[in-house]
Chain A
């Protein structure tokens, strides 16, 4: 088991950013990039429905795990043996790509993590996770968009904006900063200049619709300019199916890899609410995890050269009960995993201050107790990838979160 033991220190990029305020701000981001030749990207995958962290990354070394998770517990032996990460944790065998990346130090796990939300409503939990606020009730803007907004004016990452994958924009990336939208599409494109005329009408009558349509058309154009015109993109399934997840990642990767493409992206995958017959190494959850694993693979393939600068983070609103319920599934819980992947990740580590699974160690004697804050992970990624300061992260991106310290050294 690896413990969280790194001491925080300001990264080189953060220092450069702070010092840059003294000089011409407009040049700074480029200087920063020139200094280390990096072109960072951040991809956020929201897993809606509450992922069972104990079935995704099982604490197979914990003596209480098998008893609690019963028939669906992961095991290092048997026909569907889990893939060992370190001496204590093993990843679901449905995720061979993640296991390979982990071995190559390009994937990491933060275990026993949760946001600050301690109730068990999916919908409030998702709002907290995606809005970045300390409590529910904020549904206008998401933390990823506010992070973009907080970058210095003229910053390339801010100018290029974000990418929302899927037919509707996930809350995490909604807000004032520009966001492109893209989803696999099979409808015929309008002939002539219909798009221009509608856009013109909106610009006169409805600026909100004008802005939305313009971004939709832009993303579409980029996708067409690229190799994607040759790529059939008939939807293969919803974002609650393994094929749909893989396809969404495939398309997103093309857009993000482009030189003038967005540097941050958000995807939302549904279907993780496994109350019944969750399955362990095989079954329903494993199928979904296979989809997520496929998404990691598509990003790795599609980003090509850019993979080395990319961080992907998969987050969920909360975990599930440590003990399986009466229907071989799990009910809403608390602590769960954050999965990190990408060439930029300082991987090969399970970062966990493991709370244990004895009855008294469980949160409310029911759930994996949270010992890491999801916001700390996200802050660490935003700080190291884009140089956002602790003050901005603690006030604007994740309001009222100054007490949650950014997790250092997540980026290699």
Chain B
């Protein structure tokens, strides 16, 4: 309910579908039964529920990150080659064939029936490989959201993907591999151990590239002494501040020291001198030699093992448990999470060695999750997913959904900074944000071919706890489209 009376807890089915899940599809509420908690927990027991497998024929367009990055490297090489060829052609004597054709290629499309057909036919504009991969990955993510039952595990994927975000704004390497990053470093671990996810994330080329570690070089390493390059502390700082401990609790000296520890964690380049191009490698030549002190503990020289040991310790640090517990509770319960709930989650995190399945189950068992009013807003991605689940999949192409996310200010895998998209309701219940949601609701409602009765949809998607005002607004709509749009704008659909 949007305006709950303090004493009435929210409808448990709405808690299950909206607070924890991605919203009900028509028919889902019938499958829920009388045990919403059990319904959610059943998702946690299904093996590989979070995975998007490349063996699945539905995902034939996807590439692993190594192949994706190699494709991007090859395309970059090709683009450079094309540019230098164009340049060379433009500089040829004026009577050369290339010189006469080049301007035509640049200005207008070549007519097919042109009398003297130009020998080098301009290739039709194909989207860059990075954009193709990005869209295929986006489509896979939307599909998965559509097919999920309650969608709790998908929500966990989005939570962790935002916690460990990368941004495609960084450049083509990340654009090509952001989706693969989520499939390889987040999905396999959402119900596994936090320490394992942390390790997979920090050694993933997309992250190493996004937070600049692939260029960071120990000043006293062999490479550092030979070349004029050195440390970059970006990844080290954000691991401590955002990924694990939370702000404070470490000093500038810890950041610098950790940056030294992390030197050598990089991605193999196109020439493949260090390893398979586009894959993670440890470059011992760039690693700062010697022992290092982090958070008061000495890490002896140990090559790649030095950072592994440090990451493992940080993953088990009490401040990390507290930080993760706070963020999870904020995401799933309330902007200002109840301290008791945070404390319990932190305890579960520590007691179970950062087992994220246990943590997710503990979240379902939180009494606060079922008693706190549904006052948060659906995030832009959750809102778009909920629309598709309620009103149908929409166009057979991710373009429209991606445009909606752009308009809502949260383009997929493109957060404004390494702290990801905000997780508080007032970021989304903004003037421009609500206006945009209205436009989207209308566009979504307008393109549904066979709407059926909006009143029945209300029962199927929101259920019996729907407010009389919402019911009346939908019932009195002047068209089915308008009725559906009102449903998609109803407080019961916006809030979670």
Contacts and interface: CB of A to CB of B under 8 A. Distances in A.
Most buried by B among A219, A239, A331: A331
B105 interface: no
A23 to B, nearest CB: 35
A288 to B, nearest CB: 12
Contacts of B485: 190, 194, 198
Contacts of B2: 205-206, 209
Instruction: Give chain A's interface residue range (CB within 8 Å of chain B).
Output: 35 or more
Interface in B23-78: none
A220 interface: yes
Interface in B434-485: 434-436, 438-443, 467, 469-470, 473, 477-479, 482, 485
Given A206-B3, A235-B406, A326-B229, A124 B247 contact: yes
Given A190-B442, A201-B470, A276 B212 contact: yes
B490 interface: yes
B179 interface: no
Find the residue from B229, B407, B431 having the highest chain A CB count within 10 A: B431
B417 A209 contact: no
Contacts of A273: 234, 417
A181 B407 CA distance: 13
Nearest to A219: B431
A167 B424 CA distance: 15
A190 B212 contact: no
Given A185-B436, A190-B485, A168 B417 contact: no
B411 A198 contact: no
A192 B237 CA distance: 52
B426 interface: yes
Interface stretch (B186-194, B215-223, B318-326, B356-364): B215-223
Contacts of B414: 238
B427 interface: yes
A206 B232 CA distance: 48
A326 B224 contact: yes
A167 B443 contact: no
B169 interface: yes
Given A213-B434, A329-B232, A185 B407 contact: yes
Contacts of A375: none
A271 B406 CA distance: 17
A332 B443 contact: no
A217 B230 contact: no
A198 B409 contact: no
Contacts of A198: 438, 473, 485-486, 489
A202 B406 CA distance: 25
A123 B327 CA distance: 15
A164 B434 CA distance: 13
Interface in A172-195: 174, 179-183, 185-195
A124 to B, nearest CB: 6
A229 interface: no
B469 A204 contact: yes
Given A49-B417, A325-B230, A197 B432 contact: no
Contacts of B169: 238, 240, 271
A260 B241 CA distance: 44
23 contacts: A120-B255, A123-B241, A136-B247, A140-B426, A166-B432, A167-B409, A168-B432, A169-B426, A180-B431, A183-B409, A183-B436, A187-B436, A191-B442, A206-B494, A207-B3, A212-B431, A212-B434, A213-B435, A216-B431, A216-B438, A276-B232, A325-B233, A327-B229
Given A213-B438, A219-B431, 20 more contacts: A48-B417, A122-B418, A167-B407, A168-B430, A169-B430, A181-B435, A182-B432, A185-B407, A187-B443, A198-B473, A209-B494, A212-B431, A212-B434, A215-B431, A219-B435, A271-B416, A326-B215, A326-B216, A326-B231, A331-B237
A-B complex: 9 closest residue pairs judged by Cβ atoms:
A326-B230, A167-B409, A181-B431, A216-B435, A181-B432, A215-B431, A190-B442, A206-B2, A187-B439
Interface of B: 2-3, 169, 211-212, 215-217, 219, 224, 229-234, 237, 241-242, 247-248, 252, 255, 403-404, 406-411, 414, 416-419, 422, 424, 426-436, 438-443, 467, 469-470, 473, 477-479, 482, 485-486, 489-491, 494-495
